[in-house]
Amino acid sequence: MKRKTLTQYLVEQQRAEQALEPEVRLLIEVVSRACKTISHAVSKGALGGVLGSLESENVQGEVQKKLDVMSNEVLLEANEWGGHLAAMASEEMETIHLIPNRYPKGEFLLLFDPLDGSSNIDVNVSIGTIFSVLRAPSEVSGREVTEQDFLQKGTTQVCAGYAVYGPQTMLILTIGRGVVGFTLDREMGSWILTHDNMTIPEDTKEFAINMSNMRHWAPPMRRYIDECLAGKTGPRGKDFNMRWIASMVADVHRLLVRGGVFMYPWDAREPGKPGKLRLMYEANPMSMLVEQAGGAATDGHQRILDIQPTALHQRVGVVLGSKNEVERVTKYHHEG
């Protein structure tokens, strides 16, 4: 059986289903090409001179890795001239990146975490790129896009996805009609549709959380994990398994393939911050994918996609994955 390429899938969606605007199709193609370039650099590792850190810090005060900066540049460069975007925003840039005047402008906004899982780069563990596409508000025609234009709820995302650079390089995508996965065929240089309907089972026996933060969690979070750890003889009546890769892309990819619940909750290390992960270019795109796959995503209190952003680099607590587990964690937070 001949498998579909990403281009064939997108053209089909555009033609037969009227589910995809031509500009969004082209935009996805450009992002996917940039991810191929990043994947190539990742696979070269030390041979390509991409390992290690720079002297610089990003806006979040995190030391930048060479690959963080390189991936950011690849995405900016690839998307600048396509004519589909009004502006871009990235984890690695303090403020938004306007499309230079020498290029045509479009009506979409692209947000990305160019390299997710930075702490795993040098140790050869799966990392990725996360992206989200919004429509620029209609009033922007005739004026410059501002940061405010990006501050839209996750429910307004036009599409979202990620590339995971692991044993295989894959691109996982939603255009609001389920979740599909493509595997990079390196010889052909093509993304091939290999996972045509990714779904997350409602129940699971696997959780992902950084347990080293346990003493800092809020009581509802501790309650949930304590109950999981109690296993068969505890209140849940079953044994749980735990995984923590420390690359959100790889952890979310696992639960899109076999279910599970992923959590990076608020903790008391920095009580003023709602969480570690970023709403606009980590939590929102992943929440759209998870919901489209039949799962759920909350910040422990409310649906992530319903949160009204107030800042580009806003952080958020994250609980996402198998629906019944996410609902349980959220219920424990409501009970206090």
List the binding residues for substrate. 116-119, 210, 276
Q: Does 325 bind ligand FBP (CB under 6 A)?
A: no
Which residues are registered as beta bridge partners of 88? 97, 110
For Mg ion, the binding residues in 268-297 under the rule CB under 5 A are none
- Contact between 113 and ligand FBP by CB under 6 A: the answer reads yes
The DSSP secondary structure of 31-77, one letter per residue, reads: HHHHHHHHHHHHHHGGGGT--SEEEEE-TTSPEEEHHHHHHHHHHHH
Site for ligand FBP in 57-86 (CB under 6 A): 62
Question: Interface residues for ligand FBP in 81-100 (CB under 6 A)?
Answer: 91
Measure the CA–CA gap between 308 and 100, rounded to whole angstroms.
29
Let me know the angle formed at the C-alpha of 245 by 49 and 122, rounded to the nearest 5 degrees.
15
Indicate the annotated binding residues for Mg(2+).
Answer: 91, 113, 115-116, 282
User: Of how many residues is the chain composed?
Assistant: 336
Tokens representing residue 48 in the block: 């390509």
Which two three-digit tokens encode residue 152?
A: 């839209």
CB-wise, 116 or 251, nearer to Mg ion? 116
Give the span between the Cα atoms of 252 and 46, in whole angstroms: 27
**Binding residue for Mg ion, selected from 65, 116, 305, 332, defined by CB under 5 A:** 116
Q: Does 116 bind ligand FBP (CB under 6 A)?
A: yes
Tell me 336's DSSP state: -
- Residue 251 binds Mg ion (CB under 5 A): no
CB of 213 to ligand FBP, least distance (A): 7
Residue 91 near Mg ion by CB under 5 A: yes
Which range, of 23-31, 33-41, 42-50, 109-117, touches ligand FBP by CB under 6 A?
A: 109-117
Q: Is 56 in the site for ligand FBP (CB under 6 A)?
A: no
Name the binding residues.
Answer: 91, 113, 115-119, 210, 276, 282
Given the DSSP bridges, would you call strands 108-116 and 85-90 parallel, antiparallel or unpaired? parallel
Positions touching ligand FBP (CB under 6 A) are 62, 91, 113, 116-119, 210, 246-248, 264, 276
